[in-house]
């Protein structure tokens, strides 16, 4: 039997970050929106656990037990007292180390694929618990659509969205490490009072209405100054997107992928073309959201 699961990328339309906690993580108010850029994880029985990867960024993906897909298979196998003897193949389209939850997508995808292959009968809540152990963004990759993440981002509340939002994403010439961006956030905030992170009422209303202008007026990312401090050239990419008519521009999560909110699909194409010719990024993609989370697309 072979099972293939498709998992979307995410953009954070609000990322409010609190002070560092005793465990080193930060409390967040993290408004996730799943967008239509996908990784696919295919699982097949094998003699032992093995990970392979294809796609433009495949060379940057670790294929050992640090890969979140491998860790997901191991965690599920441990819970159900079996060996994780599978071949996991990742068809990667989400940028690596890009702030779009590509690694988390592979973790959630492998978990759902192995669960389907092995027929464990695990409940949704059990799967979400394993996701939360794997990483702060992994539960959202499983559920998709739109959600508010609190705690370190793993405690999810589904959000209502009243329409489709059109986005352009510019992939940067190099990656940024999420822990490094959080460390820079701490460094920039040293000696300052960091407020409790709270979700913006206006932003949640804009999502519920499906109103791109209202969303543009309320998007925010507390990690953006830290990402720009580590990667100053991103300011040029953001400026190019703004000049091409983006309603809002922001760094996606911990970056360095940058996100551009467009009024409609035609405007998204125009912004994408301007970014492609700006010479300020590696590649450009258009995607809209919300879209569903991890989904079994093939099982035979
Ligand atoms: O949970 P995840 O493994 O994705 O987190 C990666 C790193 O990002 C953590 O080790 C931590 O440095 C940072 N992080 C954080 N606060 C969060 C989420 C992540 O400091 N809420």
List CB contacts of 160: < 8 A, sequence separation 6 or more.
146, 207, 208
pTM of the model: 0.96
Helix (H) or strand (E) holding 20: strand 3-20
According to DSSP, residue 244 is labeled T
103 Cα nearest atom in ligand 1? 4
Q: Is 12 in the pocket of ligand 1 (CB under 6 A)?
A: no
Residue 7 Cα, ligand 1 centroid: separation in angstroms?
20
Residue appearing with tokens 């656990």: 49
Residue 137 Cα, ligand 1 centroid: separation in angstroms?
9
Name which of 164, 218, 222 is nearest 17 in CA terms.
Answer: 222
Give the torsion sign (CA, 231, 250, 67, 62).
Answer: negative
24 Cα nearest atom in ligand 1? 20
The interface predicted TM-score of the complex, written ipTM, equals 0.95
d(CA 197, CA 175): 26
At 145 the pLDDT is 98
State the 10-residue block means of pLDDT for the chain, 300 residues long: 97 97 96 98 98 94 95 98 97 92 97 98 97 97 98 96 98 94 96 94 98 98 98 98 98 96 98 98 96 97
Name which of 30, 265, 295, 266 is nearest 165 in CA terms.
Answer: 265
End-to-end CA distance of the chain: 5
Residue appearing with tokens 């992994």: 138
Residue appearing with tokens 């860790």: 71
Q: Which residue out of 19, 20, 25, 221 has the highest number of ligand 1 atoms within 8 Å of its CB and is therefore the one to mutate?
A: 25
Name which of 221, 220, 264, 240 is nearest 172 in CA terms.
Answer: 240
At 48 the pLDDT is 96
Domains along the sequence of the chain with CATH: 3-159 (3.30.230.10), 165-289 (3.30.70.890)
Binding-site entries for ATP:
95-105
Mean pLDDT of the chain: 97
pLDDT digits (tens, 9 = 90+) for 114-132: 999 999 999 999 999 999 9
H-assigned helices in 87-223: 102-118, 124-134, 138-143, 178-188, 201-209, 212-218
d(CA 299, CA 73): 17
Q: Could you list the active site residues? A: 10, 137
Percentage above 90 pLDDT, the chain? 97
153 Cα nearest atom in ligand 1? 21
pLDDT digits (tens, 9 = 90+) for 82-117: 999 999 999 999 988 899 999 999 999 999 999 999
């Amino acid at each position: 039997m072979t099972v293939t699961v498709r998992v979307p990328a995410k953009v954070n339309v609000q990322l409010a970050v609190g002070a560092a906690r005793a465990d080193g993580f930060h409390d967040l108010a993290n408004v996730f929106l799943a967008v239509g850029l996908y990784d696919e994880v295919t699982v097949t029985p094998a003699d032992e656990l093995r990970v392979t990867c294809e796609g433009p960024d495949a060379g940057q993906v670790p294929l050992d037990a640090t890969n979140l897909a491998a860790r997901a298979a191991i965690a599920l196998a441990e819970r159900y007292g079996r060996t994780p003897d599978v071949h996991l193949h990742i068809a990667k389209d989400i940028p690596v180390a890009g702030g779009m939850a590509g690694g988390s997508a592979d973790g959630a995808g492998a978990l759902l694929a192995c669960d389907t292959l092995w027929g464990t009968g695990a409940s949704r809540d059990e799967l979400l618990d394993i996701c939360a152990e794997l990483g702060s963004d992994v539960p959202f990759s499983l559920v998709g659509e739109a959600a508010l993440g609190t705690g370190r981002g793993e405690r999810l509340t589904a959000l209502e969205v009243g329409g489709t939002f059109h986005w352009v994403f510019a992939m940067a010439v190099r990656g940024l490490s999420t822990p490094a961006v959080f460390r820079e956030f701490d460094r920039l905030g040293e000696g300052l009072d960091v407020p409790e992170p709270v979700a913006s009422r206006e932003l949640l209303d804009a999502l519920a209405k499906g109103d791109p202008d209202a969303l543009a007026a309320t998007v925010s990312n507390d990690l953006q100054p830290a990402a720009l401090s580590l990667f100053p050239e991103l300011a040029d990419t953001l400026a190019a997107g703004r000049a091409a008519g983006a309603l809002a521009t922001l760094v996606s999560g911990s970056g360095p992928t940058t996100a551009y909110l467009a009024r409609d699909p035609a405007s998204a194409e125009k912004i994408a073309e301007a970014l492609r010719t700006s010479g300020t990024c590696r590649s450009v993609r258009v995607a809209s959201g919300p879209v569903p989370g991890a989904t079994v697309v093939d099982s035979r």
